[in-house]
Amino acid sequence: MSQSLIVALDFPGKQDVEQFLRHFEGEELFVKVGMELFYKEGPAIITYLKEKGHKIFLDLKLHDIPNTVKSAMHSLASLDVDMVNVHAAGGSSMMKAAIEGLEEGKQEGKERPICIAVTQLTSTSEAMMKKEIGIEKTLEEAVAHYAKLTKESGLDGVVCSTLEVPKLREVCGNEFVTVTPGIRLASDDVNDQVRVATPKRARELGSSYIVVGRSITKAENPLEAYKTVKQQWEGVTV
């Protein structure tokens, strides 16, 4: 299950990434590259991480007209990343176009990247969703609706809160991938995320993948923090 623990490389540039990864010599990680890092360094950061042997979740949350998303996904698939995402709010046609782009752009002999959709950001509360976004459903209902649409559109799964995983298992089945950010060790601050959980709780609720950032990247000893998270996630007693 260690390859289902994703470390968020939320750094401003390659130099910070290199410094962080020095703690993990010999470790093959599954890492998340987000907008800040990718927009600064471009595809070169993906090449660098692949050469180091790491798997990559390229977290760009595409949300545009179907043809634009298809073309973008064609380009991203050619980078040989392992996971990508879109916003489910872009609709079924956009999500289907994303899959088409990935299939057409994947490297020869390789499987297409896992494609997941963002339901609601973990920084979104139900009150905010209703007042600012204008969705007159409960948060659970809205997430379940987007997850069902995602599955019907041919995607592999969704990004969601751990708290929503049990409901999504009911709606979409056990094979549906759930990637859950907002993971913190019990001793950490929650920062800007509203719906958070510990690695142990994520395991108990049935998450497929967890995304962990500050608990590891801001730790005094990142490798030890990584091992602690991994042990809790895998249910290992030491």
Catalytic residues: 59, 61, 64
Alpha-carbon gap, residue 66 to 72, rounded angstroms: 10
User: Is residue 70 a known part of a binding site?
Assistant: no
- The answer to whether 82 and 56 have CB atoms below 8 angstroms apart is yes
User: Is residue 60 a known part of a binding site?
Assistant: yes
User: Is residue 67 a known part of a binding site?
Assistant: yes
Structure tokens at 181: 């950010």
User: Is residue 16 a known part of a binding site?
Assistant: no
Structure tokens at 67: 């043809």
User: Is residue 122 a known part of a binding site?
Assistant: yes
Phi, psi of 93 (to 5 degrees): -60, -40
Alpha-carbon gap, residue 207 to 212, rounded angstroms: 13
Contacts of 142 (CB under 8 A, 6+ apart): 119, 120, 129, 135
User: Is residue 214 a known part of a binding site?
Assistant: yes
User: Is residue 29 a known part of a binding site?
Assistant: no
User: Is residue 59 a known part of a binding site?
Assistant: yes
- The answer to whether 49 and 31 have CB atoms below 8 angstroms apart is yes
- Annotated binding-site residues for substrate read 10, 32, 59-68, 122, 184, 193, 213-214
**Binding residue numbers:** 10, 32, 59-68, 122, 184, 193, 213-214
